[in-house]
Amino acid sequence: MQRGTWLALFVFSLAAIGCGGCTPSAPPPKPAETGHEDHGHSHSAKGPHTGKVLAIGAEEYHAEFTHDDGSGKVTVYLLDKNIKVDPAAASPDETISIEVKSKGETKKYDLAAVDRTAGDKPMASQFEVVDKELLGYLETLGGDVSATLNVKIGDKPFAQKIDFEDHGHAH
């Protein structure tokens, strides 16, 4: 063989032998998220009724919003911290409300209890209203349209801004 061929073969052999014991380096660890606990769900997750989920308070509870485009029915389900149906995630009130602010005006929409229990301490976890105007507002949140869910769960009142955007992190 010619001298150039031997030299190329020798260099190639050294390279193959020299890298044969190399192992790829481990990928760098992912940075830990701060200020959030892993609750096993993201806020863009669907609820048990396939609706949009909203955290209430410090994620003590959640509200799931479903709607019917044809009728304009808006339903809110009260859920626990794990986005599950839980009798403890219920309101003693006969109605909850959604306040919408748009172009300097505020409108209040009352949602009536659908599944109110009987007895000394009646509770409800499902509330509805048929109102196409409210549905339109909820579908166009952002910009000059904002909404707040006003609900009492157990003995604790909440006024939670409605924001269905996924903030790019899991909770």
The CATH number of the domain holding residue 146 is 2.60.40
Return the number of other C-beta atoms located less than 10 Å from residue 55's C-beta.
18
Q: Which of 127, 30, 41, 143 is nearest to 83 (CA)?
A: 41
Backbone angles phi, psi at 20, to 5 degrees: -60, -30
- Comparing 68 with 20, the larger pLDDT belongs to 68
- In this structure, is residue 22 part of a structural domain? no
Tell me how many domains the chain contains. 1
- Strands lying side by side in the sheet with 52-56: 52-56, 61-68, 73-79, 126-130, 105-113, 95-102, 145-153, 156-161
- In this structure, is residue 24 part of a structural domain? no
- Asked whether residue 99 carries a pLDDT value surpassing 50, the answer given is yes
- In this structure, is residue 111 part of a structural domain? yes
Backbone angles phi, psi at 138, to 5 degrees: -65, -30
For residue 91, give its domain range: 64-161
Mean pLDDT of 64-77: 97
pTM over 0.85? The answer is no
- In this structure, is residue 57 part of a structural domain? no
Looking at the DSSP bridge assignments, the partners of residue 66 are: 75
- Comparing 128 with 27, the larger pLDDT belongs to 128
- In this structure, is residue 54 part of a structural domain? no
What's the confidence (pLDDT) of residue 46?
85
- CA atoms of 52 and 45, how far apart (whole Å): 7
User: Which band of pLDDT confidence, cut at 50, 70 and 90, is reported for residue 9?
Assistant: low
- In this structure, is residue 115 part of a structural domain? yes
- In this structure, is residue 25 part of a structural domain? no
